[in-house]
Chain A
Amino acid sequence: EAQVTQNPRYLITVTGKKLTVTCSQNMNHEYMSWYRQDPGLGLRQIYYSMNVEVTDKGDVPEGYKVSRKEKRNFPLILESPSPNQTSLYFCASSWTPTRTDTQYFGPGTRLTVL
């Protein structure tokens, strides 16, 4: 089954404690991206990757890091989380950003930073 998986699904942490949210896809997609979703602001792109070792900033990259060492995985790293990073995070993958027939979102990770 084609899918994007994220872990953990729920996470409560404290300010400054480094964390990683994993994202994995089983469709051999080249394009992967991370979004955060906040009430009243919709989905905003954090980082995206066009392929292995190719990553770039989205609209709200501050406080986040990513890496793309393998095609299937695209982890999101918060080196020093702060309360304003409390949000719902989604990973997505597709062949290209606009290749809509192959566009999948993960189930989401709800992060709370105290």
Chain B
Amino acid sequence: QKEVEQDPGPLSVPEGAIVSLNCTYSNSAFQYFMWYRQYSRKGPELLMYTYSSGNKEDGRFTAQVDKSSKYISLFIRDSQPSDSATYLCAMSAQGAQKLVFGQGTRLTINP
């Protein structure tokens, strides 16, 4: 079993829709939770970061962490065609020297 599971999609939604992206994990030591966005032919860029449990909001993006269920989510409100990208979740334990990534979900927002 992989430490981090993420549905690879592809996911296609109309412009303006609310998008929900999710990851599950098995390592209860994970404390740092991140979402990266990767456009085609580009390197990943950090989108959202959460430490431990709870929610974090940044503009149209909301990240949620439920440590009891070992489940994290990224919500995108009022989705735009420019949000079309691959979204990767990543996690790390306290003091760890690496990040563990999910497979990435390919998202397309249709105008």
Residues of A at the B interface (CB closer than 8 Å) are: 4, 31, 33, 35, 40-45, 48, 50, 56, 58-59, 90, 92, 97-98, 100, 103, 105-108
Contact = CB atoms under 8 A, between A and B. Distances in A.
A100 B34 contact: yes
A33 B44 CA distance: 14
B88 A90 contact: no
Contacts of A42: 6, 88, 101-104
B97 A90 contact: no
Interface in B24-69: 32, 34, 41-46, 49
A62 B98 CA distance: 17
Given A43-B101, A48-B97, A98-B92, A105 B34 contact: no
B18 interface: no
Nearest to A31: B97
Interface of B: 6, 8, 32, 34, 41-46, 49, 88, 90, 92, 96-99, 101-104
Contact of A50 (B97, B99, B102, B104): B97
A41 B98 contact: no
Contacts of B41: 108
B65 to A, nearest CB: 14
Contacts of A43: 44, 88, 90, 101, 104
Nearest to B50: A100
Given A97-B96, A97-B97, 16 more contacts: A4-B43, A35-B101, A42-B101, A42-B103, A59-B98, A90-B43, A97-B92, A97-B98, A97-B99, A98-B32, A98-B99, A105-B44, A107-B43, A108-B41, A108-B42, A108-B43
| Residue of A43, A50, A58, A98 ringed by the most chain B CB atoms within 10 A | A98
